[in-house]
Chains A and B, each alone.
Chain A
């Protein structure tokens, strides 16, 4: 057994400096297309999900619809601009964040409402030594009765509607909901249809949204900081 202790100590600390400092290691984020002024019609028509929208003076990005297919940057003349941040979480509409008492410690229940496995893997990776959300006071709990925050991934399938509602109702107040991933925000490429919904907000009041397909762990970490009212934005 002692060999494992030595092994652990030898590895040292790999944890990201975020949110104290910037993190920009290659490969931590898939990135998003950037809003820009002039753009060709061809580029707009290449977007399969309608994430690129023409506005009066250029192109706006509907982040909740973008699935990183890279069709607006690969194999096209005059590609869209690309940004590689991860601070994508935003508070939805009139929602409010947690009161001050929740800043030091927050218990989270994750519900998989039909995701493809990538979003839930990225949530799982928050416990990875690289991200280690425990250091910031975030804990995953197996039961909704102990949870303050509900993270929902997936477009909400017909079969998961009732389990999702039951989990939400079992949580004590005050509670908040974070929708993670393009599917949970807009139904993604699956919904709406006969068996998948158009996102979590049709069923539950969503407070914080994280776009991305899947959002990288740091984007989800940013959402957790946002929902607890901790100022996480460095840029």
Chain B
């Protein structure tokens, strides 16, 4: 079904919705009323098969604009369900009752903007922790100065986050934020009656850096640094999403050579990131030799990235309009030889792993996320694909040159740790095949087009190594960023993480965490 048919049906169902087709390329905007927004979102999600990507809140000219972004398959395009209200009105109808994936997005909006959602089961204490911040701090509002130092709440040593116990005799085992060897900062409340974990409540945003607020009022070149460095391990993909949003807005055509190089480096990043995730899985099960083997390969991929681009994590490479520096074709070809060698070793390790029963016992049928759960929570990336939920943006909404390369999107149906691991291995190989094709497609030519900044709004989606990410950019008349919104894949996957660890033993918990390959920095922003 094409987007035109969806629009026709929506018109007949809700005649008073105004539908705008020209604001964003390839997508439609449904301007809904206060009462209409939940049924429209419900219809898009459950009847029309759209995925929920995220919620974008804007405060423009003393008016709230809430955009619920839905993404479809190929011709379905994207649909933005928009609801507006004057800035004095703060109450909206909650969508999360119908589309559960919107749950955390609404909590975030409530915490940072001070808008409330009627019918939402749990608001408050999410991004801004209640033990640190006074009530009524709304940092994303216009007029809030991001450089100002604001008064913190007086230290309250007796304050505890809300504890939810579901079983009689159970207690909460707190873990974090400083725990384990080199773990990122996150706190878990594990409900347990001894050995079995009954429920998990991750408490995130210890690393909230206010990236979206810091971007406001800055030039796009400064915001490019933020988009790259808020999640360093997947820097190139996020910078690419930001650049693509700016390019769409300013109507820039990126030269073909730069498009091909973007595919090459995006896949190189996925390749390296997946090596790191597999290493973490082997490490969590205590399989030292496999972990070290993978660690060697990860470092080799990092060195290759460094030798090709100058930076081990591909910082400073993507710019709006193309690429910041040209890359030597022969260097790319030699890189491919190295990558082929890595793939050969990885294949050997995968074979050994699939014959190591002590390893399989720890990840098979452990940490299960069902397909329905993944769909309802809007999970993305290898985690969702391990639960037969294929929402790979490279395939669904091709960008750069992905419609010209030939690749498979691996999918598994078990939804356990082993399924996720097999996805990682399969995607590694696919990434290598895409890189091979990209090098063959390299032609001579420019690597960057001039980019003239225009006012307006746009967004773009990129399949990062951890899943689909959406960057929303509004530029004002002065050519500065007015609103920058990052919808990150880890945010979606952390939301559904608790399913995987329920009813498993304590020693399974680090393994389940590793198979998810989550990034806290990417979630916390």
Contact = CB atoms under 8 A, between A and B. Distances in A.
Interface string B313-337: 1011000000011000000000000
A110 interface: yes
Contacts of A160: 177, 185, 206-207
A224 to B, nearest CB: 14
A31 B310 CA distance: 8
B24 interface: no
Given A48-B225, A115-B521, A190-B209, A30 B312 contact: yes
B177 A8 contact: no
Interface string A202-234: 000000000001101000000000000000000
A159 interface: yes
B205 A30 contact: no
Interface stretch (B100-108, B297-305, B389-397, B478-486): B297-305
A75 interface: yes
Given A118-B235, A190-B209, A30 B310 contact: yes
Interface in B199-233: 205-211, 213-214, 221-222, 225-226, 229-233
Contacts of B209: 114, 155, 157, 190-191, 195-196
Interface residues of B, number: 77
Contacts of B312: 27, 30, 214, 216
Contacts of B308: 27
Contact of B233 (A5, A75, A118, A167): A118
Contact of A29 (B298, B306, B358): B306
B298 A128 contact: yes
A125 B209 CA distance: 25
Contacts of B230: 116
Contacts of A157: 206-209
A110 B185 CA distance: 10
Interface stretch (A36-44, A62-70, A96-104): A62-70
Interface in A178-201: 188-196
Contacts of A87: none
Contact of B292 (A8, A121, A195, A214): A8
A30 B306 CA distance: 7
A26 interface: yes
Interface in B475-525: 519-522, 524
A3 interface: yes
A117 B233 contact: yes
Contacts of B129: 159
B307 A26 contact: yes
A194 B210 contact: yes
B208 A7 contact: no
Interface in A118-162: 118-121, 123-125, 127-130, 140, 142, 144, 154-155, 157-160, 162
B1 interface: no
A11 interface: yes
24 contacts: A4-B289, A5-B289, A7-B352, A11-B296, A27-B303, A28-B303, A67-B229, A116-B230, A116-B231, A116-B232, A116-B235, A118-B313, A124-B182, A144-B178, A157-B207, A157-B209, A158-B132, A158-B133, A159-B129, A163-B177, A164-B178, A194-B144, A194-B210, A194-B213
Interface of A: 1, 3-5, 7-8, 11, 14, 25-31, 48-49, 67-71, 74-75, 109-121, 123-125, 127-130, 140, 142, 144, 154-155, 157-160, 162-164, 166-167, 188-196, 213-214, 216
